[in-house]
Chains A and B, each alone.
Chain A
Amino acid sequence: MGPAAGGGEALLSLRGISKHFGPVQALADVTFDIPAGRVTALIGDNGAGKSVLIKCIAGIHAPDAGEFLWEGQPAHIRNPVDASTLGIETVHQDLALCNNLDIVQNMFLGRERVRHLALDEEDMEKAAAKTLAGLAVTTVRSIRQPVASLSGGQRQSVAIAKAVLWNSKLVIMDEPTAALGVAQTAMVLSLVRRLADRGLAVMLVSHNMNDVFEVADRVAVLRLGRLVTVKPAAELDRQIVVDLMTTGASTRDVNPPSQPGVQP
C-alpha cells in the first residue's frame, strides 16, 4: 500500500510535515498524499492536529520541518497567497460570507472584475451562475439574493462554489456539515462528491463518521499529531476508525465472516 492508496496521481504530497508550538508537538512527521479526483477525509479526535495540518496546507502556519510536493515538484507554501496561487482554497467552518451581500458579490469578494473603473457585474454574474450550475447548486431562487436569506446548506454551497470559482485544484473543507440538518447535509455531501468527480482534490475534515463513510474515498487518521494510517475508505469501517483515533491501533477486521461483501 503506497502513500497514494486508493487514489490516482498525487496532487499534493506531504513529506514529514512537523510543527510545534513551544513545547507542544502539534504535528510530527506527517507524510501522505492528496490525489486529484478523490475525497480524502482527515479525521482525528480533538487536539489530534487536524486544524494545524490544514492551516499548514493553507499557508496560515509554516511547518517547522518537512516539505510539500505540488504535482511532484517541491513547493513552498509560506502564506495564504502562496496557497491560493498554487490552487489551494479553504472553506472555513465559519464560511466567511457577508450576509448583506448577494451570492455573486460574496463569490467575487476581494477579486472583483472591473471594467472602466466600475465593477463588471454582468461578467461576474455570468461566471457565478456558470459555476453554480456546474456544481448543480440549484436550490437558490436567485443568485442576486442576499446570503442572509439562504439556508445553512445553501450558504455552505455558496462558500464551496466561491472556493471552486478560482480554478482551484485542491479544496479543503473544515467540518462542512457541522451545523446542518439531515437534508442539507446530504446536499452538501453530494456537492463534495461532484467536486471530486470534476477532478478536484478534496480534503474533508470531519468529526462525523457518517459523512466520512458516505463521501470519502480515502481516510487519513491523525492521533496526537501523528498520522496513524491512510487507507481507502473501503478498507475501514466506523469501529476501526474510532479505535485508530482513540488508541492508534485496531485489531478488528473490516469484513466480519457473516458479511462476505467486500473482496480483498
Chain B
Amino acid sequence: MSKIDGLPMIGDPNAEGALADASAGADIAVGPELVANSLGEYLRVAVSRVKGGDSGILPVVGGLILISALFQSLNSHFLTSGNLVNLLIQGAVFMLLAMGQVYALLLGEIDLSIGFVSGIGGIVTAELVKQSTGWPWWAAIIVALLVCATIGAVQGTIITRVGLPSFVVTLAGLLGFQGVMLLILGNGGSVPINDKVINDLASGNLTPAATWAVLLGVVAAFGVRTWRREEGRRASGLVAPPRSLTVVKVAGALGAAVVVALICNADRGTLVPIRGLPWVVLIVLAVLTAWTLLLGRTKFGRYVYAIGGNAEAARRAGVRLARIRTMAFTLSSFTAGIAGIVYASRLRSVSTALDGGTLVLYAVAAAVIGGASLFGGRGKAIHAVLGGLVIAAIDNGMGLQGYSAAAKYVVTALVLLAAVTIDAVARRGRTSR
C-alpha cells in the first residue's frame, strides 16, 4: 500500500511516527486527542487550537478561574465553603435550564419559553403537594415533568409540522405561560411548599460520609468507564488519546471530587453546623450524565448534531427531521421542568416574582458562554453546566461586593458578548477553510 503526500495509511501500524511528524504542524481544526501521541504534544496542539478559536471547554474553565481569582481578591469571603456551596445552589437553576436550551441550540433553533415552562413545572409541583391536594412528592414531580414535556412536545409539533420559526412559537410560549402562571397564582400571589422532600431538593444535604461515598463513586464509575473504553480503543488500534491523557482526565476528575467533597463537608453553618453535599448537585450531575450519554452515545443524539450541521444531509440519510426536532423541544421543556422544581424548592414557594424572561436569557447566555454554538451543531451538556457556573459566579461575586442588579446585568451582558464573539470568530475560522 502506497503512502500519498507522506501521510500515513489508516490502520498502518507504522503510522505513529508519521502522525507525530504531521501534527508538529499543529492543525487547529483537528482535535488534539486525534493527532497527539504524548501528553506534551497534546498540550501543544490544544494550545494552538485555543489560539485558533476552536478550543472546547478550555476558555470557559480559564474564565471561571479568572473570575474566581478576581472576586477572591476583592472579597475574601468569595472562596469560603459557605459561599461556594451557595453559589452551586444558585447556579443549579441556570445549569439545568441551559442544559435544556442546549437541545434547541444544537438544532440551530432557540427555545424562549423554557423560563416560564419551568415556572409551570414549579407551580404544578407546589399545587399538587400543598395540604388541600395532598399528593405524595414523587407523584407531584412526575406529573409536573410530564406537563412540561407535553408543553415542549406541543411547541415542537407546531414548529416542525406547521413549519413556523421556533423563535416565534416559543416567544408565544414565553408570553402565554407567563399568563397561565399569573392566572393560577393570582396577581402577586404565591403558593408555599411545605413538603420536606421537595424543599430538601435545594436545601437538603447528604451526610459527610455519604458525600465522600457518592463523589468517589461517581469518579470511580467515570474513571473505570473512561479507562476501559480508551484502553479498549488503543487495544483495537482505533483512534484514541494517549494513555497519559486518560490518566490526567481521571486524576482531574478525582481531584475535583476531593475538592468538592472537602468544600461541602467543611462546616458552613453559623448557628448550627451544616455539612455535606447539597442534593441539588446530585440532580445536576444526574441530568448532566443522562444528557451527555443521550447526545453522545445514541442515534437520537447523533441525529440532533447532524440536523444542526446539515439538515438536508440528515434528511437524505433517512433521518426523520420532524420527529427528532420535536423530541429535542420536548427534552428542552422537560429539563426546564426539573429546573423549575429546583427553583421552587430553593424558595420554598412559587410566586409571580419568577422572571421567566430573564431566566431563559440567562440559560441561552450560560450555554453560549460554556461553548455551545448559537448556529447549531456544536455544544454539549457540560458546556451548559460550566456556563451556568460562570453566570452564577458573576451574580454571586458582584452580590458580595454589594453591586446592584443593574451592574450584574451589564457585566453578564459583556461576558455573553465576549463568548458570542469567540463563537462567531471560531465559526468564521472554520468555514473559511
- List A residues at the B interface (Cβ < 8 Å): 92, 94-101, 105, 109-112, 114, 117-119, 122, 125-126, 129-130, 132-133, 136-146, 148-149, 187
Bound-state Cα–Cα, A96 to B302, Å: 16
- Are B10 and A129 in contact (CB-based, < 8 A)? yes
- Are A98 and B313 in contact (CB-based, < 8 A)? yes
With A97-B313, A101-B306, A142-B35 as given contacts, are A148 and B433 in contact (CB-CB < 8 Å)? Answer: yes
- List B residues at the A interface (Cβ < 8 Å): 1-5, 7-11, 19, 22-23, 27, 29-31, 34-35, 232-233, 236, 238-239, 293, 297-299, 302, 305-306, 308-310, 312-314, 316-319, 377-378, 430-431, 433
- Are A96 and B34 in contact (CB-based, < 8 A)? no
With A97-B313, A118-B298, A148-B433 as given contacts, are A142 and B34 in contact (CB-CB < 8 Å)? Answer: yes
- Are B299 and A138 in contact (CB-based, < 8 A)? no
Contacts of A129 in B (CB 8 A): 10-11, 238
Contacts of B302 in A (CB 8 A): 101, 105, 109, 112, 119
Contacts of B2 in A (CB 8 A): 136, 138
Q: Closest residue of chain A to B379, judged by CB?
A: A100
Nearest-neighbour CB distance to chain B for A17, whole angstroms, equals 23
Bound-state Cα–Cα, A187 to B5, Å: 11
Bound-state Cα–Cα, A49 to B189, Å: 70
- Are B313 and A109 in contact (CB-based, < 8 A)? yes
Q: Closest residue of chain B to A105, judged by CB?
A: B302
Q: Closest residue of chain A to B236, judged by CB?
A: A122
- Are A149 and B310 in contact (CB-based, < 8 A)? no
Contacts of A92 in B (CB 8 A): 316
Contacts of A144 in B (CB 8 A): 31, 34, 239
Contacts of B7 in A (CB 8 A): 138-141
- Are A110 and B34 in contact (CB-based, < 8 A)? no
Bound-state Cα–Cα, A226 to B152, Å: 53
Sort A-B residue pairs by CB-CB distance and give the 6 closest, nearest first: A110-B317, A149-B29, A98-B309, A100-B309, A100-B377, A96-B313
Nearest-neighbour CB distance to chain B for A238, whole angstroms, equals 29
Nearest-neighbour CB distance to chain B for A22, whole angstroms, equals 26
The total of Cβ contacts below 8 Å across the A-B interface reads: 122
Contacts of A101 in B (CB 8 A): 302, 305-306, 309
Contacts of B238 in A (CB 8 A): 122, 125-126, 129
- Are B9 and A141 in contact (CB-based, < 8 A)? no
Main secondary structure of the interface of A (DSSP, over half): loop
Bound-state Cα–Cα, A132 to B7, Å: 14
Instruction: Give 16 CB contacts A-B under 8 Å.
Output: A96-B317, A97-B313, A101-B305, A101-B306, A109-B314, A110-B314, A112-B302, A114-B299, A118-B293, A119-B298, A119-B302, A122-B238, A141-B22, A143-B239, A144-B239, A145-B31
Which of B35, B236, B239, B305 has most chain A Cβ within 10 Å?
B239
Bound-state Cα–Cα, A98 to B31, Å: 17
- Are A110 and B319 in contact (CB-based, < 8 A)? yes
- Are A138 and B10 in contact (CB-based, < 8 A)? yes
With A96-B312, A149-B433 as given contacts, are A136 and B1 in contact (CB-CB < 8 Å)? Answer: yes
- Are A96 and B10 in contact (CB-based, < 8 A)? no
Nearest-neighbour CB distance to chain A for B237, whole angstroms, equals 9
Bound-state Cα–Cα, A111 to B430, Å: 27
Bound-state Cα–Cα, A132 to B2, Å: 13
Bound-state Cα–Cα, A130 to B35, Å: 19
- Are B298 and A110 in contact (CB-based, < 8 A)? no
Bound-state Cα–Cα, A117 to B302, Å: 13
Nearest-neighbour CB distance to chain B for A67, whole angstroms, equals 26
Nearest-neighbour CB distance to chain A for B312, whole angstroms, equals 6
- Are A138 and B9 in contact (CB-based, < 8 A)? yes
Which of B1, B7, B19, B299 has most chain A Cβ within 10 Å?
B299
Bound-state Cα–Cα, A119 to B293, Å: 10
- Are B232 and A138 in contact (CB-based, < 8 A)? no
Contacts of A136 in B (CB 8 A): 1-2, 4
- Are B8 and A138 in contact (CB-based, < 8 A)? yes
Nearest-neighbour CB distance to chain B for A224, whole angstroms, equals 29
Bound-state Cα–Cα, A27 to B312, Å: 27
Nearest-neighbour CB distance to chain B for A182, whole angstroms, equals 14
Cβ-neighbour of B19 out of A125, A141, A146 (below 8 A): A141
- Further pairs besides A99-B377, A109-B319, A129-B238: 9, Cβ < 8 Å: A100-B308, A110-B317, A125-B239, A129-B10, A141-B7, A142-B30, A142-B239, A145-B34, A148-B430
Q: Closest residue of chain B to A148, judged by CB?
A: B430
- Are A133 and B377 in contact (CB-based, < 8 A)? no
Bound-state Cα–Cα, A100 to B377, Å: 6
Nearest-neighbour CB distance to chain B for A115, whole angstroms, equals 11
Which of B1, B4, B233 has most chain A Cβ within 10 Å?
B4
